[in-house]
């Protein structure tokens, strides 16, 4: 049995599709789980309840965490450590291996140009500090010999059928598709990596089912040489047959919007990711598994074909 905790989002869905290469015993766990594959087993659970997590994990050889809590520092502060403690305890009790889908919020903001698995941990934001804390919870258990786990990190992501949580989906694809100006944060002149969600799902399934991949951090496959914000907008607009119009939200405007719009308030501390080069390096994974990430133009074309045709 291979179990996905937080199965409803973009990453969990792609992972569920990819896991069929390795097993037909797939369990999807969330508040309101929906089948991805016909043979999926569904478990409805409150993942902040320790007993519910124990039941959800029971009998699992591998547990994948693709949970996304609402994008709020307060929610993260209350939920992430509690949830991670529940998961670690359940995995230890059931002798399950853990695969944790992570982001790059804990990386030092002075080292975002060419991020590798060895990039210094020095979180520049409150949400980054929480991400560093929960990753360390896993690492402490690995080092104590109590848990077999791996951490799979992604850049910001893009892909087909994303309902929320993707900056590129909300601010560029959806805007251009409805004949509106695209939006970008702070500066359109900086290069910015995005991980393609089908690549992330396939890579997590592969890592989870590779014995010697455990007890390490892995960057999920992400195309090199990313576009600048302006190039992202122009390329997506060209493929859609839309005019490449856009507006940039400077730091001050995001702060003002944050007074009225909760999600913009949460974005203020993350703006450093858009005022400098943000390039994600996945060469460790690519060399180990001899796999290349989907090129950006190919990813863009797939999204437009699936979501906007």
What are the tens digits of pLDDT across the range 207-242? 999 999 999 999 999 999 999 999 999 999 999 999
Q: Reply yes or no on whether the pLDDT at 309 is more than 80.
A: no
pLDDT at 249: 92
Which CA distances in Å does 206 have to 174, 211, 213?
A: 31, 10, 9
168-189: per-residue pLDDT in tens? 998 999 999 999 999 999 999 9
Segment 126-148, tens digit of pLDDT: 999 999 999 999 999 999 999 99
Q: Tell me the three state secondary structure of residue 212.
A: helix
DSSP state of 269: G
Exposure letters 54-92 (e unless 16+ CB within 10 A, then b): eebbeebebbbbbbeeeeeeeebeebbeebbebbbbbbe
pLDDT confidence of 102, banded at 50, 70, 90? very high
Per the CB < 8 A criterion, the answer to whether 90 and 63 are in contact is yes
Nearest one of 177, 210, 183 to 290, comparing CA atoms: 210
SS3 assignment, position 187: coil
- Residue 73: per-residue pLDDT: 94
Q: How large is the average pLDDT for residues 60-72?
A: 95
Summarize the confidence of residues 196-203 as an average pLDDT.
97
pLDDT by residue (tens digit) across 272-293?
999 999 999 999 999 999 999 9
For residues 284 and 218, what is the distance between their CA atoms, to the nearest angstrom?
7
pLDDT at 206 over 80: yes
**Token pair for 33:** 């789980």
Which of helix, strand or coil describes residue 228?
Answer: strand
- Edge to edge, the sheet with strand 97-102 lists 41-44, 26-30, 2-5, 62-65, 97-102, 149-153, 217-219
Across the range 100-126, mean pLDDT stands at 97
10 pLDDT band (50/70/90 cuts)?
very high
Q: Tell me the average pLDDT across 90-111.
A: 98
CA 203-204-207 angle, to 5 degrees, is 85
Tokens of 301: 């074309």
| Cβ–Cβ under 8 Å, residues 125 and 269 | yes
| pLDDT tens profile 12-65 | 999 999 999 999 999 999 999 999 999 999 999 999 999 999 999 999 999 999
User: What is the structure's pLDDT at 27?
Assistant: 98
pLDDT digits (tens, 9 = 90+) for 299-308: 999 999 998 7
CA torsion 263-265-269-274 (nearest 10°) is: 60
Answer yes or no: is pLDDT of 164 > 90. Answer: no
Which pLDDT belongs to residue 257?
87
Is pLDDT of 163 > 80? no
Report how far apart, in Å, the C-alpha atoms of 191 and of each of 187, 224, 229, 245, 251 are: 10, 10, 6, 18, 18
With a cut of 90, say whether residue 295 has pLDDT above it: yes
Average pLDDT over residues 64-72: 94
| pLDDT at site 308 | 78
């Amino acid at each position: 049995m291979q179990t996905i905790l937080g199965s409803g989002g973009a990453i969990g869905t792609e992972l569920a599709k990819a896991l069929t290469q390795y097993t037909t015993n797939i369990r999807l766990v969330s508040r309101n789980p929906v089948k991805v594959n016909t043979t999926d087993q569904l478990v409805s659970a409150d993942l902040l309840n320790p007993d519910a997590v124990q039941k959800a994990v029971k009998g699992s050889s591998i547990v994948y965490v693709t949970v996304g809590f609402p994008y709020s520092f307060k929610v993260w502060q209350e939920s992430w450590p509690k949830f991670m403690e529940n998961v670690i305890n359940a995995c230890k009790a059931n002798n399950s291996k853990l695969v944790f889908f992570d982001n790059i919020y804990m990386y030092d903001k002075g080292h975002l140009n060419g991020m590798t698995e060895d990039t210094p941990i020095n979180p520049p934001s409150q949400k980054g500090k929480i991400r560093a804390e929960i990753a360390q919870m896993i690492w402490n258990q690995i080092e104590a010999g109590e848990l077999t786990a791996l951490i799979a990190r992604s850049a910001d992501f893009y892909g087909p059928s994303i309902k929320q949580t993707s900056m590129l989906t909300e601010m560029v694809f959806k805007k251009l598709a409805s004949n509106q100006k695209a939006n970008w944060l702070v500066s359109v002149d900086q290069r910015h990596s995005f991980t393609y969600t089908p690549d992330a799902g396939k890579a997590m399934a592969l890592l989870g089912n590779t014995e010697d991949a455990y007890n390490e951090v892995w960057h999920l496959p992400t195309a090199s040489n990313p576009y600048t914000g302006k190039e992202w907008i122009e390329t997506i607009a060209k493929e859609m047959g839309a005019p490449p119009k856009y507006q940039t939200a400077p730091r001050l405007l995001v702060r003002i919007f944050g007074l009225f719009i909760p999600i913009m308030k949460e974005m203020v501390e993350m703006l450093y990711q858009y005022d400098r080069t943000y390039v994600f390096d996945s060469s460790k994974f690519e060399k180990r598994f001899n796999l290349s990430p989907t090129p950006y133009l190919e990813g863009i074309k797939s999204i437009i074909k699936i979501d906007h045709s």
